[in-house]
């Protein structure tokens, strides 16, 4: 199975220039191909695929005014066309929106290289058309016997460089256990499990919000000063006019980006530790299939929901369960997990969010809201797992009966 290993590196000034040139060329080719495909469809209802754009890219590089495209690796340019093609495939399948143009002001700049676009020898990674290897910090070794399939170089808004090495390595299943757990995701706690464990929600972004707001106000004042210098105070920015940014404003932007990066890294580390523990200790993990994209539309809770990062946590559980031979069950979001008594099955008509404990009027059981929900999620997940296994056995028996009859 495929697995990405991410390493930070510190380029020299010459390598920074080479990478900036590569990012610019990759972005230019991506936008050129997107414009080509969009125009072909809008004018003649013609679908232009990857192979046609790759053929035209060869002609594009021969144009004298675009000779600078030959200064970077063709592998990275071809990969940008493949990424665009995948974006269109996701759009037509209903999994994503229509591809949009990339900008040099985007928070993340990236370039991807297939196996023929780099060399990795003795722990030294050298990209095609680069003179010197990158100074990677090997925080962990690559899996033994893993085959490297691609390398993606990124630069984030905090001016940090990373190399993401994608390897094809065999799955590493953990020893089978008979434990199963239900997990209720929340805002007071990141998660409450059916066995009574609580995973804290550190609220990383909320703790840095005052500092972020202070620097953002300073940056806004500098932007207003730049607009005033152009006579645009209280006016809309005319089309095609770009507000100049001073060096101090650029420094403020990088400072804000570094704070956001610190928050993001701390949150990701916390989620990794929590998800790894759940996967290691349990054979079956049951969670709610929450519609996070709809929940963040709530103005009062959107910031807290984004800070707790339920979707990222769910994604970690999914790929770690597949890698370790565990079963992740996602139960319906319409399950009344908080309102249903986990002891007798009685369901309340309503249960406000402010009520953290309640007593069942039928059996008298006193419930903690989140723990009760986790137990109901576990029961629903195990029932769903049983149905899946029963349906699978029925299908196998039907196939065997059909083969015996013939």
Distance CA 41, CA 15 (A): 39
Distance CA 144, CA 158 (A): 33
For residue 237, pLDDT over 90 is answered with no
For residue 395, pLDDT over 70 is answered with no
Which residues, other chains included, contact 66 with Cβ-Cβ below 8 Å and sequence gap of 6+? 60
pTM beyond 0.85: yes
For residue 399, pLDDT over 70 is answered with no
Q: What is the pLDDT of residue 118?
A: 96
- The answer to whether 27 and 180 are in contact (CB under 8 A) is no
Q: What is the pLDDT of residue 45?
A: 86
Q: What is the pLDDT of residue 225?
A: 92
For residue 252, pLDDT over 90 is answered with yes
Among residues 144, 178, 288, 289, the one annotated as catalytic is 288
- The answer to whether 222 and 252 are in contact (CB under 8 A) is yes
- β-sheet bridge partners, residue 126: 119
184 is catalytic: yes
For 2-47, what is each residue's pLDDT tens digit? 889 999 999 999 999 999 999 999 999 999 999 999 999 999 888 9
Q: Which two tokens stand for residue 169?
A: 């390595």
- Residue by residue, what is the 3-state secondary structure of 44-89? HCCCCCHHHHHHHHHHHHCCHHHHHHHHCCHHHHHHHHHHHHHHHH
For 313-338, what is each residue's pLDDT tens digit? 999 999 999 999 999 999 999 999 99
Q: What is the pLDDT of residue 145?
A: 80
Distance CA 33, CA 39 (A): 10
CA distances from 159 to 10, 122, 301 (A): 10, 27, 31
288 is catalytic: yes
The residue-averaged pLDDT of 368-377 equals 96
For 59-99, what is each residue's pLDDT tens digit? 999 999 999 999 999 999 999 999 999 999 999 999 999 99
Distance CA 155, CA 151 (A): 14
- At 347, give phi and psi (nearest 5°): -115, 125
Distance CA 284, CA 286 (A): 7
As to burial, measured by CB atoms within 10 angstroms (0-12 exposed, 13-18 middle, 19+ buried), residue 191 is buried
Q: What is the pLDDT of residue 401?
A: 63
Q: What is the pLDDT of residue 123?
A: 86
Which residue has 């996070």 as its token pair?
A: 292
Residues 296-325 as b/e (b if ≥16 CB within 10 A, e otherwise) read beeeeeeebbebbbbbbbbebbebbbebbe
Q: What is the pLDDT of residue 339?
A: 94
- The answer to whether 354 and 369 are in contact (CB under 8 A) is no
Please give the mean pLDDT across all residues of the chain. 93
Among residues 46, 370, 387, 404, the one annotated as catalytic is 370
Q: What is the pLDDT of residue 108?
A: 95
370 is catalytic: yes
Among residues 184, 265, 269, 387, the one annotated as catalytic is 184
The residue-averaged pLDDT of 389-398 equals 74
* For the chain, percent of residues with pLDDT exceeding 70: 97
- The answer to whether 30 and 86 are in contact (CB under 8 A) is no
The residue-averaged pLDDT of 96-116 equals 95
For residue 398, pLDDT over 80 is answered with no
For residue 311, pLDDT over 90 is answered with yes
For residue 308, pLDDT over 90 is answered with yes
The residue-averaged pLDDT of 284-303 equals 91
For 165-190, what is each residue's pLDDT tens digit? 999 988 889 999 999 999 999 999 99
Classify 122 in phi/psi space as left (phi over 0), alpha (psi -120 to 50) or beta: left
Q: What is the pLDDT of residue 271?
A: 97
Distance CA 308, CA 273 (A): 14
The residue-averaged pLDDT of 219-234 equals 91
Q: What is the pLDDT of residue 300?
A: 87
The residue-averaged pLDDT of 105-123 equals 93
């Amino acid at each position: 199975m495929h697995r990405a290993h991410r390493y930070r590196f510190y380029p020299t000034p010459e390598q920074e220039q080479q990478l900036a040139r590569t990012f610019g060329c990759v972005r230019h080719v991506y936008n050129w191909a997107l414009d080509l495909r969009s125009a072909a469809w809008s004018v003649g209802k013609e679908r232009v695929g990857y192979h046609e754009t790759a053929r035209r890219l060869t002609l594009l590089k021969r144009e004298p005014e675009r000779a600078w495209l030959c200064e970077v690796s063709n592998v990275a340019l071809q990969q940008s066309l493949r990424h665009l093609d995948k974006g269109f495939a996701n759009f037509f399948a209903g999994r994503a929106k229509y591809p949009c143009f990339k900008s040099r002001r985007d928070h993340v700049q990236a370039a991807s290289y297939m196996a023929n676009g780099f060399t990795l020898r003795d722990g030294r990674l050298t990209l095609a058309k680069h003179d010197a290897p990158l100074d990677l910090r090997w925080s962990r070794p690559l899996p033994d016997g893993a085959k490297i399939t691609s390398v993606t170089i990124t630069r984030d808004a905090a001016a940090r460089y990373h190399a993401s090495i994608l390897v094809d390595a065999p799955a590493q299943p953990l020893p089978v256990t008979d434990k199963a757990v239900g997990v209720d995701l929340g805002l007071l706690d990141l998660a409450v499990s059916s066995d009574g464990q609580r995973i804290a929600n550190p609220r990383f972004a909320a703790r840095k919000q005052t500092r972020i707001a202070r620097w953002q106000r300073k940056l806004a004042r500098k932007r207003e000063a730049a607009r005033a210098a152009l006579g645009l105070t209280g006016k809309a920015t005319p089309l095609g006019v770009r507000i100049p940014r001073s060096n101090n404003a650029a420094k403020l932007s990088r400072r804000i980006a570094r704070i956001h990066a610190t928050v993001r890294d701390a949150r990701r580390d916390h989620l990794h530790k929590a998800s790894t523990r759940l996967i290691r200790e349990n054979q079956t993990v049951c969670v709610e299939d929450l519609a996070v994209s709809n929940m963040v539309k709530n103005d009062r809770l959107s910031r807290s929901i984004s800070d707790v990062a339920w979707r990222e946590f769910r994604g970690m559980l999914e790929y770690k369960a597949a890698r370790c031979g565990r079963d992740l069950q996602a139960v319906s979001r319409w399950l009344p997990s908080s309102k249903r008594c986990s002891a007798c099955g009685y369901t309340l008509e309503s249960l406000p969010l402010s009520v953290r404990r309640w007593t069942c009027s039928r059996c008298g059981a006193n419930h903690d809201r989140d723990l009760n929900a986790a137990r109901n999620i576990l029961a629903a997940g195990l029932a769903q797992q049983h149905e899946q296994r029963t349906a699978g056995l029925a299908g196998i028996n039907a196939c065997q009966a059909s083969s015996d009859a013939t």
